[in-house]
């Protein structure tokens, strides 16, 4: 059993933590209510999804062509495009930029891909202080934690938890309101924005035909991370391409409607390079780091390549009954929930993360809510198939499945073992259903036997 699987099994016990479940269910229920209202703004949501799915499918099939177009147009705009095969190369390029510009402070907008390459930990090694500027990201950074959710990093914390944390770290009043805490953070971060040499953002979309970076956010911290520092570094997965700026009116509202329930996110920006000679504000230099990290491996598969259509709205996490119970940290990977379970084995190895694809009820709720119509539950089944083909399931599991196959192949095989034997086998592993559940008892005789004996 891999170490990550042991962690998953251990951490999943948090599903029995009533406070944790109450917090998660409350926060997700608020999102679900908002999304339900957001979807009502669409006359035909299904048609919008179909169009978005078609565009992203075209991108995945022609990824190299669109990336080359983006690179060509971005460089014409004065952006330096850097290619990174993996996290190590991405960090190498970023560290080079930091050293060449004698950077001491880096302000960072919310970006899951920066978590993927462990940006904060790596820049600290060369003496650069990274500061998270998204409120949720700032909270988990202060707590010494990682983002809990793709869209809402601090979803696992209640307002009382945050008030206690800030009281411990910053000596703010213990019973501060969310509004008071937000104002405190805003005041604190303003000083960081104006003194940082480097600003880092992700990219919601790479717009090929204009060579631009499309960003969508609710707090304005992303644009401030771009406006004040002299250097702007964008980190993006290679799958984030859109063919045209004309696609943004379709994708921005879809992302907000299914992610947060908004008609459109508060701030939507298209950045097409560093400031021009006739402009007073903006960065002097702009870099875009395009990260592969085995995305090309996913793109080359016939079915799993559909995972690259993902626009990181987080809707599948909110819909997933597994995520809602075990939470984000149980996955022990950058991307959690259904989409994370699909792509993490490709990013970090099936041997380490194949078990995530088995943490699924195959209910299809994730596929139903996906704005780009990724058949997520089917891709999870494909990952399971790959795991079995790679013999990663373990001898005990394989033996158990062979016994299951034998028993259920024929009615007489199943009837051959009476209820007493089945109950004895179940009691050989008393923890199989978890300590919180009562083991069922099998009837002494099966339904078919009772029917033959005319007892039913």
- SS3 of 78-129: the string is CCEEEEECCHHHHHHHHHHHHHHCCCCEEEECCCHHHHHCCHHHHHHCCCCE
Q: How confident is the model at residue 426 (pLDDT cuts 50, 70, 90)?
A: low
The residue from 233, 266, 293 where one domain ends is 293
pLDDT single digits (tens) 262-277: 989 999 999 999 999 8
Asked whether residue 206 falls in the same domain as residue 75, the answer is yes
Give me the number of domains the chain comprises. 3
281, part of any domain: yes
pLDDT band, residue 434 (cuts 50/70/90): low
Of the candidates 330, 333, 360, 328, which has an alpha carbon nearest to the alpha carbon of residue 345? 333
pLDDT higher than threshold 70 for residue 418: no
Asked if 414 and 378 sit in the same domain, the reply is: no
Tell me the CATH number at 363. Answer: 1.10.1060
d(C-alpha 296, C-alpha 152), whole Å: 28
| Both tokens assigned to 391 | 């013999």
Round to whole Å and give the CA distance between 274 and 199. Answer: 12
Residue 208 DSSP SS3: coil
Domain of 110: which CATH number?
3.40.50.10420
Does 419 score more than 90 pLDDT?
Answer: no
Q: Is the pLDDT of residue 455 over 80?
A: no
Q: Comparing C-alpha atoms, which of 242, 243, 265 is closest to residue 254? A: 265
Q: Which residues, other chains included, contact 56 with Cβ-Cβ below 8 Å and sequence gap of 6+?
A: 308, 309, 311, 372
Is 252 contained in some domain? yes
How far apart are the C-alpha atoms of 146 and 291, rounded to whole Å? 21
Statement to judge: residues 189 and 152 lie in one domain: yes
Structure tokens at 24: 């998660």
Q: Is residue 400 part of a domain?
A: no
Per residue, the 3-state secondary structure of 138-159, as one string, reads HHHHHCCCCCCCCCCCCCCCCH
Which domain range does residue 335 map to? 1-40+304-393
122 belongs to a structural domain: yes
353 and 448 in one domain? no
| pLDDT tens-place string over residues 330-374 | 999 999 999 999 999 999 999 999 999 999 999 999 999 999 999
Q: How confident is the model at residue 229 (pLDDT cuts 50, 70, 90)?
A: very high
pLDDT 10s digits, 99-117: 999 999 999 999 999 999 9
In a domain, 403, yes or no: no
Residue 401 belongs to some domain of the structure? no
Per-residue b or e along 111-149, where b marks 16 or more CB atoms closer than 10 Å to that residue's CB: bbbbbbbebbebbeeeebebbbbbbbbbbbbbbeebbbb
Report how far residue 214's alpha carbon sits from residue 178's, in angstroms, rounded to the nearest whole number: 29
Residue 161 corresponds to which tokens in the numbers above? 């938890």
pLDDT (mean) for 33-37: 93
Which among 393, 423, 444 is the end of a domain? 393
Residues 365 and 433 in one domain: no
Q: Based on the fold, state whether residues 169 and 254 are members of the same structural domain.
A: yes
- CA dist 409 and 69 (Å) reads 55
Of residues 62 and 406, more confidently modeled: 62
Judge if 97 and 209 occupy the same domain.
yes
Q: Is the pLDDT of residue 431 over 80?
A: no
Cα angle, residue 27 at apex, residues 221 and 331 outer, rounded to 5°: 85
Same domain, 136 and 248: yes
Binned at pLDDT 50, 70 and 90, residue 399 comes out as confident
Query: Does residue 261 share a domain with residue 137?
Result: yes
* 320 neighbors 369 (Cβ within 8 angstroms): no
Q: Residues 216-243: what's their mean pLDDT?
A: 95
- Give me the pLDDT at residue 423, please: 67
39 neighbors 258 (Cβ within 8 angstroms): yes
Residues 358 and 371 in one domain: yes
- pLDDT tens profile 274-330: 999 888 888 999 999 999 999 999 999 999 999 999 999 999 999 999 999 999 999
Write down which residue in 232, 260, 293 finishes a domain: 293
Do 153 and 215 belong to one domain?
Answer: yes
Does 81 reside within a domain? Answer: yes
- Kindly report the number of other CB atoms within 10 A of residue 393's CB atom: 17
CB-CB contact of 369 with 315 (8 Å): yes
Using CA atoms, how far apart are residues 263 and 385, in angstroms rounded to an integer?
Answer: 39
For residue 166, the SS3 value is: helix
398: in domain:
no
Strand, coil or helix: 390: coil
pLDDT value at position 440? 73
Residues 6+ apart with CB under 8 A from 119: 91, 94, 108, 130, 200, 235
Query: Kind of pairing, strands 212-217 and 205-207?
Result: antiparallel
Task: Name the band, by pLDDT with cuts 50, 70 and 90, for residue 177.
Answer: very high
pTM listed for this prediction:
0.90
> In terms of domains, do 75 and 178 share one?
yes
pLDDT at 158: 93
């Amino acid at each position: 059993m891999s170490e990550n699987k042991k962690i998953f099994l251990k951490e999943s016990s948090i599903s029995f933590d009533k406070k944790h479940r109450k917090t998660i269910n409350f926060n997700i229920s608020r999102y679900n209510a908002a999304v339900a209202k957001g979807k009502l703004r669409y006359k035909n949501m299904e048609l919008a999804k179909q169009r978005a799915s078609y565009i992203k499918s075209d991108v995945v099939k022609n990824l190299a062509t669109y990336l080359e177009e983006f690179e060509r147009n971005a460089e014409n705009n004065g952006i330096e495009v850097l290619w990174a095969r993996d996290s190590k190369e991405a960090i190498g390029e970023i560290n080079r930029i930091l050293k060449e510009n004698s950077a001491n402070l880096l302000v960072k907008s919310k970006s899951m891909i920066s978590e993927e390459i462990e940006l904060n930990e790596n820049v600290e090694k060369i003496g650069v202080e990274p500061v998270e500027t998204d409120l949720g990201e700032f909270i988990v950074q202060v707590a010494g934690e990682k983002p809990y959710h793709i869209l809402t990093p601090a979803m696992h914390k209640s307002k009382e938890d945050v008030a206690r944390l800030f009281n411990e770290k910053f000596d703010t009043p213990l019973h501060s309101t969310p509004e008071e805490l937000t104002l405190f953070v805003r005041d604190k971060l303003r000083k960081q924005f104006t003194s940082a040499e480097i600003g880092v953002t992700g990219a919601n979309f790479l717009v090929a035909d204009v060579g631009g970076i499309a960003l969508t956010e609710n707090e304005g911290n992303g644009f401030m991370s771009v406006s004040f520092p002299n250097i702007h570094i964008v980190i993006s997965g290679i799958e984030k391409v859109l063919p045209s700026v004309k696609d943004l009116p379709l994708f921005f509202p879809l992302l907000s409607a299914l992610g947060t329930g908004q008609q459109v996110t508060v701030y939507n920006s298209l950045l097409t390079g560093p400031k021009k000679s006739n402009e007073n504000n903006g960065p002097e230099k702009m870099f875009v780091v395009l990260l592969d990290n085995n995305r090309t491996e996913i793109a080359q598969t016939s079915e799993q390549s559909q995972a690259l259509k993902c626009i990181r709205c987080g809707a599948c996490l909110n819909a997933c009954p597994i995520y809602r119970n075990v939470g984000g940290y149980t996955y022990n990977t950058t991307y959690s929930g259904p989409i994370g379970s699909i792509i993490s084995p490709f990013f970090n190895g099936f041997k380490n993360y194949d078990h995530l694809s088995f943490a699924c009820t195959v209910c299809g709720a994730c596929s139903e809510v996906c704005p780009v119509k990724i058949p997520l539950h089917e891709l999870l089944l494909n990952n399971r198939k790959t795991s079995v083909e790679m013999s990663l399931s373990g001898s005990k599991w394989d033996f158990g499945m062979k016994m299951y196959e034998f028993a259920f192949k024929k009615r007489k095989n199943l009837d051959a073992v009476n209820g007493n034997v089945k109950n004895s086998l179940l009691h050989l592993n008393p923890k199989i259903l978890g300590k919180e559940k009562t083991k069922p008892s099998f009837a002494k005789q099966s339904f078919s036997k009772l029917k033959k004996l005319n007892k039913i």
